[in-house]
Structure 1
Amino acid sequence: GRATPVPPDAPPSAHSISSARRQARAKAKHRLFHSINYTPRVSHFDPASEYSDFRGFFVLFWIGLSIMVVTTALRNIKETGYPLRVEVYRILSRNVVSLALSDVAMVTSTAVALPLQRHFRRSTGLLQWRRGGVWIQSLYQIAWLVLWVEWPFLLDWTWTAQVFFELHTLTFLMKMHSYAFYNGHLSETERRLSDLDHPAAAKVSSLERAVKYPSSPSREHSPQPSRGSDLATLRQDLATELTSPLGAVTFPQNLTLYNYIDYALCPTLCYELEYPRTPRIRWLEVFYKTLAVFGCIFLMITVSSEFITPVLADSALRLRNAAPRLSDWLEFSREWNIPVYHFLRRHVYFSSKTYFSNPIAMAITFLVSSLGHELIMGCITKKLRGYGFVAMMLQLPIVAVQRSNLIRRRWVFNNAAFWFSMILGLSMMCSLYVLV
């Protein structure tokens, strides 16, 4: 249990882990591996928020949407005899059974990482994580990605089913990668800690000072005292790394099927030993969130079928000879897609900085992101043109220009360029894939 005392004759590593769990529960500390601090974020529109200035606009917004839905339904009944246009719903309802079965198979196949991690942890030869384990996991991820990317094309699904499946595939690729590489890191950390129980026979690599990974910006930054390279300090650092930030779980207690299923259901792309929990399940909150999800899906389908699809049907000639406009995507993506940003920062950017310089690590991060976006556009349009890939890679020189002394302080110009890119750039990019 959480308060079970450690026997006096236990090895030093056990005492270090017990001490680390107590310290982690008392206060969150900087981790050796970049960790995410999950804290509740209450929206200004949430009833639990202390801010009430915008609640009136929030209510007005939903009243306006309700009026729009009602008037749209009445107009459709008058014109077609049905309250909703069924074209979009027919597209979405195709391939539902095969999509569901394939999605379950895809998600289930990611659980192979669990027995692999158990085997890598027990191995003492070439199958240790830092030797052959990382390569076995990487080869499996490559083969896994190729299979599930090709799967929708082999079954000739509609583009809506393809895009959903490919996005879900990329999501679980990132989740599987985070799970495998973080647990692989922990297995090597545990191995080093166990070697320190017998310092005389420990390998030189086990006695090396623990390399500190950059901490999350969401964590409190408190000044840390300078640490020596003595054995006790190293043992404590390694034990802290094996303990969850909340102090209730220690590696390898997390290598269970229940833990992996729990992680697969968590809305995050970065694996942690433990996630914050509420004292109980708030069923009313579950009902509201479920209603909001399906309500928003219904509204998006209604808006697209009523106001977007009819316009796109007649817009091919008008969109020709238009050029996309680009601006800095970096700051927007940090706020717009925080889970993907955290994954790229933790598993691509900081991992690359271990071997390369900062500019090269940033270029690798943009390269991975660009390839993912190009893959999605290829699934939608059945074309590999590279427009999105080139546009995203151009962000690197654009960022450099916008951070120059000549442009940096012209915030009105930068903000206007950003909004022009959002209004024109994305739509023009999609038009290039469709028309060229």
Structure 2
Amino acid sequence: MASVDPDVGNASNPGLRSLTDGKSAMSHALNGLTSQPPGSSEGSWTPEDMSAVSEGENEDALRPAGEIGAADIRSRSTTAIPSDDSSIEPPDDNDNDQRTKKHDSSRESIQVIIQKSGNRGQYFLKADDPEFLEIVNAGIEREAAKLSGKTRSRLRDLVFTRQFTTFDRQNPRGAQSPFHGFFTLFWLSMALLLFKIAAQNWKDQGSVFGRAEIIHLMVDRDLVLMLATDAMMCLATGFGFLLHKAIAHGYLTWGRSGWIIQSLWEIWFTCGSIWVCFYREWSWTHTVFIVLHNIVLLMKQHSYGFTNGYLSRVYRRKQLLEEKLGQLEGMDAQEHTSPTSPSSPEIQALSATALDTSKSENLLHRRSIGPKYSTNFSQEQSEIALMAKAIESGEPLDAEQIHAFTRIIRTEITILDEELRGRSTDPTNAYPNNLTITNFLDWTCLPTLVYEVEYPRQDFINWWYVAEKFGATLGVIWVMIIISQAYIYPIVVETVRQKEAGMSLDARWKEFPWVVSDMLFPMLLEQLLAWYVIWECVLNVLAEVTKFADRGFYGDWWNSVSFDQYARDWNRPVHNFLLRHVYHSTISAFHLSKMGATLVTFLLSAVVHELLMFCLFKKVRGYLFAFQLSQVPLAALSKTKLMRGKDTLGNIVFWFGLFIGPSLITSLYLIV
């Protein structure tokens, strides 16, 4: 999991001043707004929602589309009037009054005008709400970048917003889904299946619970020790907090020794937990819990460590620039610089560039001149580095040059302040003020694997909702235990018995198809229930207790038409972690291509999955590793002409793989 310090600040927020295809970008951006956040009404804009406004209102809000701004989507309805004409005739006042009366009682409206500028492909937005402008402008710029092929991965690309999971009862989309009845049917079928198993157990063994071997595996041996080990793992994650407090106080630097210490600690943390499982010879129930929680805590430590490590370098760069700014302010301006000075032409060019940039761009939105994380001006190739060298050399500067250098350094400091603040709405939470024990404990409990200084939060905790989800967690786990006990455990025991009795490999291969077929349906059920209990129940409990508002823990992965889409949607927290700390980091740190970074990401994921199989079966076979990597060519196949546009066929291939995969892999580890 260790990697070189991620170059997550390599690309600053570019302000696109023209859109390659303005109409298409605008369409994409507005379509994205029809998916309303929690608390707002659902559906796309209707004619009743399109409230017109008279031209001339709120002229201060008029600005070119494309200036990027980060803002969380709030719970409110939006209204707009797209127009291809630069002038819009205001509608009848009576119509406006009727529409206002109809909607004001239920929700707040935002008046928006979209106007075409004099230049082709450029549009202007005019609205009463500056926050809404930020949302729309950011969406337009994203879509325009996609259309022009100029998208670049950045640390801050991941935005946390307020949303619910698909199957949560608080999600209006879930309650109004035309497939809601299938959800009811599934749980009714589960109830009838449990009743059948209980009746069969009573008939055969005189107890509705049967022999309950799995329950005994879970509670008879080392249960308290296993829980104590898990608590020690959680406490051990505090090492990262102490490390970064030392870095913030200047005892260590992230670029030299900090990231090495963090990486070595992550290796020791993982190996130590696995060693405990092997040393105590724990059952598979204990091993699965400890290893999976260890991997979760490892990812949390990595994100916390490497994100704060990057911010520590940004903070150090800001301090260095503030020192240069102080030196500039203490300089005495010269009437004329020496024409024979070898650096004078460079200085004059830099000052001319600074003056020209300040006239053409807003100070707060100008592009960063150098890498935001660099702290070595002697090796950096940027305008800021040249200015720092010129200031350090003590060469004479005239008043105009001092003024230009001061302006451009202050601009860079402003950009760095924004980077240190991240998504935080409170500037006092910016690095290093975020390095508090309260922030660290809060981060440890949050249901996300990507660290940010601040997240969208709810106003209160619904304890009835917590009780509901906690009860659902226990209930689903109980269902999983009963299905495993009735349909999986007997097959596993019999297969292991035959192997230990000396059955030849050839004879076991003959049993292999029957073992796979016997485990098809129970393994699929277990996979669905395991996903539901973790991503719908457990994570929602954590989110509610911590007031975490972004419940986008998964997408509609059941509609996947390729395995790469499934990999993105079924487990959003892990996908976001891999995207930021593996995919982006390998591109920036090792300068890999996008294809190379994708292969590294899949390779790491395959290694982690195989590690879990190794801990369970105490042997390395590589079956799951191979199946994980097979998703790469399958994903490539889905993008070929053979499969492109054939969504039903792609979904069939996806479900076929998901159906036979778990039973096939499990049978391979048991038989061979």
Common fold: TM-score over 0.5: yes
Q: 2:434 aligns with which of 242, 254, 274?
A: 254
Identity among equivalent pairs (%):
32
What SS does the corresponding residue of 2:454 show, helix, strand or coil? Answer: coil
Aligned residue for 2:299? 174
Letter in 2 for 1:88: I
Q: CA deviation at 1:246?
A: 3.9
Q: CA deviation at 1:399?
A: 2.6
Letter in 2 for 1:422: L
Cα deviation, 1:192-229, whole Å, max 9, x if unaligned, reads 12222233579xxxx952469xxxxxxxxxxxxxxxx9
Q: 1:131 aligns with which of 252, 256, 272?
A: 256
User: For residues 176 and 192 of structure 1, what CA distance do their matches in structure 2 show?
Assistant: 24
Q: CA deviation at 1:396?
A: 2.5
Q: 2:370 aligns with which of 201, 209, 212?
A: 209
Q: 2:215 aligns with which of 65, 75, 89?
A: 89
Aligned residue for 1:390? 626
Aligned residue for 1:144? 269
Q: CA RMSD in A?
A: 3.0
Q: 1:40 aligns with which of 156, 163, 170?
A: 163
User: For residues 375 and 361 of structure 1, what CA distance do their matches in structure 2 show?
Assistant: 21
User: For residues 513 and 461 of structure 2, what CA distance do their matches in structure 1 show?
Assistant: 53
Residues 1:230 and 2:355 aligned together: no
TM-score scaled by length of structure 1:
0.81
Aligned residue for 2:419? 241
Matches within 5 A, 1:48-197: 48-50=171-173, 51-52=175-176, 53-85=178-210, 86-93=212-219, 94-123=221-250, 127-197=252-322
Cα deviation, 1:346-372, whole Å, max 9, x if unaligned, reads 100001111222121111111111110
Q: CA deviation at 1:106?
A: 1.1
Q: CA deviation at 1:102?
A: 0.6
Aligned residue for 2:551? none
Aligned length, in residue pairs: 391
Alpha-carbon contact 1:349-1:361 (below 8 Å) kept: yes
User: For residues 293 and 261 of structure 1, what CA distance do their matches in structure 2 show?
Assistant: 23
Unaligned runs of 5+ in 2: 1-68, 73-130, 143-153, 328-367, 374-406, 496-507, 518-560
Q: CA deviation at 1:301?
A: 0.8
Q: CA deviation at 1:47?
A: 4.9
User: For residues 491 and 516 of structure 2, what CA distance do their matches in structure 1 show?
Assistant: 19
Residues 306 and 101 (structure 1), Cα distance of their counterparts in 2 relative to 1, 3 Å cut: same
Q: CA deviation at 1:40?
A: 1.8
Q: CA deviation at 1:406?
A: 3.5
Residues 1:337 and 2:517 aligned together: no
Q: CA deviation at 1:410?
A: 4.1
Alpha-carbon contact 1:45-1:58 (below 8 Å) kept: no
Alpha-carbon contact 1:320-1:435 (below 8 Å) kept: no
Cα deviation, 1:222-277, whole Å, max 9, x if unaligned, reads xxxxxxx9334322221111114241322122211221111111111111111222
Q: CA deviation at 1:328?
A: 5.3
Aligned residue for 2:382? none
Instruction: Single out whichever of 401-410 and 183-192 deviates more from structure 2.
Output: 401-410
Q: 1:430 aligns with which of 666, 669, 672?
A: 666
Residues 414 and 48 (structure 1), Cα distance of their counterparts in 2 relative to 1, 3 Å cut: closer
What SS does the corresponding residue of 2:444 show, helix, strand or coil? Answer: helix
User: For residues 160 and 167 of structure 1, what CA distance do their matches in structure 2 show?
Assistant: 11
Q: CA deviation at 1:323?
A: 10
Q: CA deviation at 1:421?
A: 1.4
User: For residues 101 and 361 of structure 1, what CA distance do their matches in structure 2 show?
Assistant: 38
User: For residues 321 and 66 of structure 1, what CA distance do their matches in structure 2 show?
Assistant: 27
Q: CA deviation at 1:128?
A: 0.7
Aligned residue for 1:225? none
Residues 394 and 77 (structure 1), Cα distance of their counterparts in 2 relative to 1, 3 Å cut: closer
Q: 1:264 aligns with which of 441, 444, 459?
A: 444
Alpha-carbon contact 2:164-2:170 (below 8 Å) kept: no
Aligned residue for 1:421? 657
Letter in 1 for 2:218: L
Q: CA deviation at 1:44?
A: 4.9
Alpha-carbon contact 1:270-1:342 (below 8 Å) kept: yes
Instruction: Single out whichever of 362-371 and 419-428 deviates more from structure 2.
Output: 419-428
Cα deviation, 1:48-73, whole Å, max 9, x if unaligned, reads 52543444443443333333333432
Q: Point out which structure has higher relative CO (alpha carbons under 8 A, 6+ apart).
A: 1
Residues 61 and 181 (structure 1), Cα distance of their counterparts in 2 relative to 1, 3 Å cut: same
What SS does the corresponding residue of 1:198 show, helix, strand or coil? Answer: helix
Alpha-carbon contact 1:24-1:247 (below 8 Å) kept: no
Aligned residue for 1:380? 616
Letter in 1 for 2:203: K
Alpha-carbon contact 1:45-1:55 (below 8 Å) kept: no
User: For residues 196 and 516 of structure 2, what CA distance do their matches in structure 1 show?
Assistant: 36
Alpha-carbon contact 1:328-1:418 (below 8 Å) kept: yes
Alpha-carbon contact 1:32-1:241 (below 8 Å) kept: no
Residues 184 and 403 (structure 1), Cα distance of their counterparts in 2 relative to 1, 3 Å cut: same
Alpha-carbon contact 1:193-1:238 (below 8 Å) kept: yes
Residues 1:301 and 2:427 aligned together: no
Alpha-carbon contact 1:32-1:210 (below 8 Å) kept: no
Alpha-carbon contact 1:24-1:246 (below 8 Å) kept: no
User: For residues 376 and 71 of structure 1, what CA distance do their matches in structure 2 show?
Assistant: 33
User: For residues 392 and 69 of structure 1, what CA distance do their matches in structure 2 show?
Assistant: 33
Q: CA deviation at 1:34?
A: 4.3
Aligned residue for 1:13? none
Residues 191 and 197 (structure 1), Cα distance of their counterparts in 2 relative to 1, 3 Å cut: same
Residues 281 and 308 (structure 1), Cα distance of their counterparts in 2 relative to 1, 3 Å cut: same
User: For residues 570 and 646 of structure 2, what CA distance do their matches in structure 1 show?
Assistant: 23
Q: CA deviation at 1:310?
A: 3.3
Instruction: Single out whichever of 129-138 and 237-246 deviates more from structure 2.
Output: 237-246
User: For residues 186 and 339 of structure 1, what CA distance do their matches in structure 2 show?
Assistant: 22
Residues 1:347 and 2:540 aligned together: no
User: For residues 102 and 400 of structure 1, what CA distance do their matches in structure 2 show?
Assistant: 42
User: For residues 570 and 301 of structure 2, what CA distance do their matches in structure 1 show?
Assistant: 22
TM-score scaled by length of structure 2:
0.54
Residues 1:278 and 2:458 aligned together: yes
Alpha-carbon contact 2:637-2:643 (below 8 Å) kept: yes
Residues 422 and 119 (structure 1), Cα distance of their counterparts in 2 relative to 1, 3 Å cut: same
Unaligned runs of 5+ in 1: 1-21, 213-228
Residues 363 and 99 (structure 1), Cα distance of their counterparts in 2 relative to 1, 3 Å cut: same
Alpha-carbon contact 2:610-2:625 (below 8 Å) kept: yes
Aligned residue for 2:607? 371
Cα deviation, 1:386-417, whole Å, max 9, x if unaligned, reads 12222322333333333223343444443332
User: For residues 205 and 170 of structure 2, what CA distance do their matches in structure 1 show?
Assistant: 40
Q: CA deviation at 1:89?
A: 0.6
Residues 283 and 411 (structure 1), Cα distance of their counterparts in 2 relative to 1, 3 Å cut: closer
Letter in 2 for 1:388: L
User: For residues 24 and 299 of structure 1, what CA distance do their matches in structure 2 show?
Assistant: 42
User: For residues 574 and 651 of structure 2, what CA distance do their matches in structure 1 show?
Assistant: 23
Q: CA deviation at 1:105?
A: 0.7
Alpha-carbon contact 2:300-2:451 (below 8 Å) kept: yes
